Structure 1
Amino acid sequence: MSGDDAPDEPRRIKSVQTASRIVSVVQRLSNPTLGDICAELDASKGTIHTYLATLEEEGFLMRDGQSYRLGLRFVTLSESVRNETQLYRAGKEEVDALAARTHEYAHLTLVQRGREVTIYESRGDDAVATDYHLRMRETPQHLHYSASGKALLSQFDDEQVRSILDSEGLAEQTANTITDRDELFATLEQIRERGYAVNDEEEIRGMRSVGAPIRGVDGGVCGAVSVTAPTSRLTGDRFKTEVPKLVVETANLIELNLETAVYDRRR
């Protein structure tokens, strides 16, 4: 091979990519028809129908009349994925305890492809906005407008943050959302110094949250924990000191659980 030749690109299986895109379209559109899916993918009805029939037969899709939705096979697969995640095993009980102590929603999250994914949530006695939290759990979220997302971003170096922003942008959710890169980088530096992040109505009006990063046994960030509550309850000292202290303590406990699990496996 000459010096001018570029290295071979990794090979991809087009049929798998197509099936993945179909599943994503079904999830995003919610109960689309064959025509809806074809329009999204710019493909012939015959081709897409074959894929749909196969995905239905394998349990990945379900057909209800003329529309499609995700199949129940994803339920068992997602449970297997979560149960095999070390962060979930180390953090579940601690997140339950955090929700019980704050009486609000507590979340355990990680980063996947530049977005925030919730792998577990626990509902405190006074928690509200259940529908909102369900939607958030179903779709990976941007990192720059949530407390846990900013906590995660704060643990990346500037080059990694820029790469994520180049890919995902700085979408504006509310008037409080940070949409300027310089402001975001300054905020991330503050988060590194104090050990936690806040979301002051940056994702949805009327809601605040506090999040802290969780470091793995290698010292790198592996997730984040957060508490979300209405502004009427997450205010004053509770917003500035009480809940941040509880969230940081919970992150530290999860880190200890991760470390202990590794130690136990090595014995």
Structure 2
Amino acid sequence: MSGTSHHVKSVRKLFRIVETLEERESMGITELARETGIAKSSVYKYLDTLHHLGFVTKDESSYALSLRWFQVGRRVRERRDVFQVARSELNRLARRTGETVSLVVEEDGYAIYLSQVSEREQPAGPVAEGDRIPAPISVGGKAVLSYRPVKEVEALLADQELTDRAEQLVSELQTLRNQRMVIERESPQDGTFSAGSFMGHRHVVGHDEPYQNLHSIAVPVRNADNYAIAAIEVSGSKDSLYGRRLEDEIARLLVNASKSIETVLLSR
């Protein structure tokens, strides 16, 4: 883990308050102080500043995060070329498969579910749109990492304190580039993914946490240098996403969607 000696303590405290508010609908100063371990007088100053800037709302003595965060996040997302290009493909893929389709990008070692589309009332993704999980345990994250330089992946694993598993994970990611057959895992203990290739694209199939009740498959979205900038992940129930349908239908639709996105991005 990188050193923290140069970090600004007041900023760390501020975001401890923000993250605590994120987990709750609203909280008062006393409760926030107790939860964060920050003095009540400091909590009040931080909240008053955030309220003045529009990042929290106040209802009598309770505070909550405001939708200003949504505004900021939406603008950050809109600046991503891959998000702009992928939107129509995600919608089309969700309609054709009837499953949950996610656009996944990697950021500081995490798989960020940048966009998620589903025809179902309850999306079946491993996490909700906007959430993140460590890239090495995300199906979409693994699809991205499989098309990244080994040194970059090793540095990412070191930052996440996964150096003890680095050799195994790097080997698994290399398999994603080389393996020519889809392997359907019967048990989560057999491994967290399978690998395969279709028309020059590789895909990952996930079965382990946070995919215990899901089947998911992902393909990378690559730039002109064959470097993955994102992945498209399709997730569904074990009863819906399995065997021949997964291998013959879903995988090929995913590959075609990824190729379409890559083509548009290359033309920009």
Please, what TM-score do these two structures have when normalized by structure 2?
0.79
The CA deviation at 1:128 is 6.2
The CA deviation at 1:89 is 0.8
Q: How does 1:42-191 map to 2 (within 5 A)?
A: 42-124=37-119, 127=120, 129-130=122-123, 133=125, 135-169=127-161, 180-191=165-176
The CA deviation at 1:49 is 0.7
The CA deviation at 1:224 is 0.8
Task: Label 1:184 to 1:49 Cα distance change in 2 as closer, same or farther (>3 A).
Answer: same
Q: Following the alignment from structure 1 to structure 2, what is the Cα–Cα distance between the partners of residues 128 and 162?
A: 39
Q: Structure 2: which 5+ residue stretches go unaligned?
A: 179-196
Report the equivalent of 2:267. Answer: 260
Report the equivalent of 1:192. Answer: 177
The CA deviation at 1:232 is 0.5
Q: Deviations over 1:151-174 (max 9, x none)?
A: 01212223322222233356xxxx
**One-letter code aligned to 1:156:** R
Task: Label 1:168 to 1:31 Cα distance change in 2 as closer, same or farther (>3 A).
Answer: farther
The reply on whether 1:212 has 2:207 as its aligned counterpart is: no
Q: Following the alignment from structure 2 to structure 1, what is the Cα–Cα distance between the partners of residues 31 and 144?
A: 36
Q: Identity over the aligned pairs, expressed in percent?
A: 24
Q: Structure 1: which 5+ residue stretches go unaligned?
A: 1-8, 171-178, 262-267
Name the stretch that deviates more: 32-41 or 217-226: 32-41
Q: Following the alignment from structure 2 to structure 1, what is the Cα–Cα distance between the partners of residues 46 and 248?
A: 53
Q: Deviations over 1:77-108 (max 9, x none)?
A: 22212222111111110111111111111011
Name the stretch that deviates more: 209-218 or 156-165: 156-165
Contact persistence 1:146–1:209 (CA under 8 A): no
Contact persistence 1:206–1:230 (CA under 8 A): yes
The CA deviation at 1:218 is 4.6
Q: Deviations over 1:44-93 (max 9, x none)?
A: 11012111011022211123454432211112222212222111111110
Report the equivalent of 1:4. Answer: none
* Secondary structure, counterpart of 2:254 in structure 1: helix
The Cα RMSD (Å) is: 2.7
Contact persistence 1:210–1:228 (CA under 8 A): yes
Contact persistence 1:32–1:69 (CA under 8 A): yes
Q: Following the alignment from structure 1 to structure 2, what is the Cα–Cα distance between the partners of residues 112 and 33?
A: 33
Contact persistence 2:215–2:241 (CA under 8 A): yes
* Secondary structure, counterpart of 1:62 in structure 2: strand
The CA deviation at 1:10 is 11
Contact persistence 2:154–2:170 (CA under 8 A): no
**One-letter code aligned to 2:253:** L
The CA deviation at 1:143 is 1.4
**One-letter code aligned to 1:69:** A
Q: Following the alignment from structure 1 to structure 2, what is the Cα–Cα distance between the partners of residues 239 and 209?
A: 9
Task: Label 1:66 to 1:198 Cα distance change in 2 as closer, same or farther (>3 A).
Answer: farther
* Secondary structure, counterpart of 2:172 in structure 1: helix
Q: Following the alignment from structure 2 to structure 1, what is the Cα–Cα distance between the partners of residues 155 and 44?
A: 37
The CA deviation at 1:252 is 1.1
The reply on whether 1:239 has 2:234 as its aligned counterpart is: no
Between the two proteins, the alignment pairs up a number of residues equal to 242
Contact persistence 1:214–1:252 (CA under 8 A): yes
Runs of 4+ in 1 over 6 A off after TM superposition: 9-12
Report the equivalent of 1:173. Answer: none
Report the equivalent of 2:189. Answer: none
Aligned match for 2:29, one of 27, 34, 38: 34
